[in-house]
Chain A
């Protein structure tokens, strides 16, 4: 089977005494897509941020199978994290807030290359052009500013920025949630194409269960900072074991008017 790319063990994080993540443990395999689902406040984004060290966890470890062998991401001083960030990147939720309005598309996509020490202007441009093609943006986009683009195109710019360093691991934090359904379908297809072409591994944080069901191989269900259920998407969605998962699934409104919405009751389930 595939090798392990990321190993998360007993991750805990509190904010001013409020427990956000409690004892979260899981593995991520190379080239798979692992979803984390849960309601707001379940801790799913905090887990993603702890892994990338955007915030520091209180306790627990995260090990990453980098191109130079296994490293502990937790405990690593920030100076030593920088080179590792070539290999792990993030695509954010809001395609409006996550792009600097004063930078051109070229500057936005080029910036990670500059930060990571690519001195040659022409080599940088080559890489920017290549990634632009891969995310299917026109080449004349380079000199334009984010405001000239639609939400879906902006999300392509954000994906290009994440991919330009050729990472192996991408965290998608609600990356398609802000998009209209037609644009969402295009971006999901793009993420899947890129995964096949580049062998990417995705950690896909989302509250939309049908998106997760479509794009993910395995899924973790989180409630109040804990992983309550995990397994393959088919197992979890078709044969949920935990009451909390059943509650989430029962709340999805079907697009068939003859399948009435009958959400389960939180109290009856004892949640």
Chain B
């Protein structure tokens, strides 16, 4: 398969006063070109750390200790993001150019003291050799595309004058304005109301279809995964437990942890009854030992004890 990103054996340590925390412990997965890959997991699973590794945003006390992230842009030769030197010009080209990122909290991703127009145009001026007028024009077009109305006036407004959903649209415009090959979204709708979330998800989905870029989507919300993703990577305690297509993972989850995650969601089917907890679903199954990911016949990968990893035995 044609993968734009290949993450292999990625390990990240955070050194603290009480010792070393292994935030990532041998993470491997692929991001297929032109598809949406979701990393799903709970707090502390390492999903955001993984995203930050791709952008090389890990800062002390964190450190990438081993592994590689092979990036294969559509033009030029593939290279390993992890082994780039801090001053390598390719890193600048990468961040916000070839790969860009939408963060959870739009207010912290935008500067309060610059106008919307300024901030989106700046992204263009940083990465391309064009004049201010061209940058302004393209920024305007991108903001219209993400659904900002009354644009002539809005270009000159400040982030505090925008609602949360509008701000996130601006951040998405900023991320897409250089036409990145990979768009990383780190919980982009978590801070939003469910109605606004639906609008932003629809926008991301439509733009992805239109522009055809590859998306790496980080979320804890399995509903968001179901609606947006083609492929799903399930993470837990710095490891990958299961990889598959969205239908494989959500409809017939193989790993007990994934099954628990799905069953713990409150829904009408179980109204009035006790909710399943991950503990109750997982039971005696061992989810903490780092078994290697095994590739099964149908293409999915799962990390289970060898005796319970036959080719496609489904426990649901």
Contacts and interface: CB of A to CB of B under 8 A. Distances in A.
Interface in A172-187: 180-186
Contact of A253 (B43, B226, B267, B274): B226
B131 to A, nearest CB: 38
Interface residues of B, number: 40
Contacts of A257: 226-227, 246-247, 250-251
Contacts of B276: 185
A185 B275 contact: yes
B30 interface: no
Contacts of A256: 226, 250-251
A250 B198 contact: yes
Interface in A210-254: 210-211, 213-215, 233, 237, 247-248, 250-254
Interface in B207-262: 220-227, 246-247, 250-251, 260-262
Contact of B227 (A151, A182, A211, A254): A254
B43 to A, nearest CB: 6
A253 B221 contact: yes
Contact of A255 (B193, B220, B223, B274): B223
A270 B137 CA distance: 33
**Main SS at interface, chain B:** helix
B138 interface: no
The residue in A181, A213, A266 that gathers the most chain B C-beta atoms within 10 A of its C-beta is A181
B42 interface: yes
A182 B42 contact: yes
A40 interface: yes
A209 interface: yes
Given A189-B274, A213-B267, A261 B227 contact: yes
A180 B225 CA distance: 15
B268 A261 contact: no
A207 interface: yes
B148 interface: no
A9 to B, nearest CB: 28
A71 interface: no
Nearest to B280: A185
B195 A181 contact: no
Given A182-B264, A254-B223, A257-B227, A214 B193 contact: no
Contact of A211 (B220, B266, B274): B266
B277 A185 contact: yes
A211 to B, nearest CB: 5
B302 to A, nearest CB: 19
B1 interface: no
A263 interface: yes
A39 interface: yes
B278 interface: yes
Contacts of B196: 39
B202 interface: yes
Given A151-B43, A188-B266, A215-B266, 11 more contacts: A40-B164, A182-B42, A189-B274, A208-B194, A210-B265, A233-B271, A251-B195, A255-B250, A255-B265, A258-B247, A261-B201
Interface of A: 39-40, 151, 180-186, 188-189, 192, 207-211, 213-215, 233, 237, 247-248, 250-261, 263, 266
9 contacts: A39-B193, A181-B220, A181-B261, A188-B275, A213-B267, A213-B271, A215-B266, A257-B226, A263-B198
The 8 closest A-B pairs by CB, nearest first: A253-B223, A214-B266, A263-B198, A251-B198, A182-B278, A185-B264, A180-B42, A185-B275
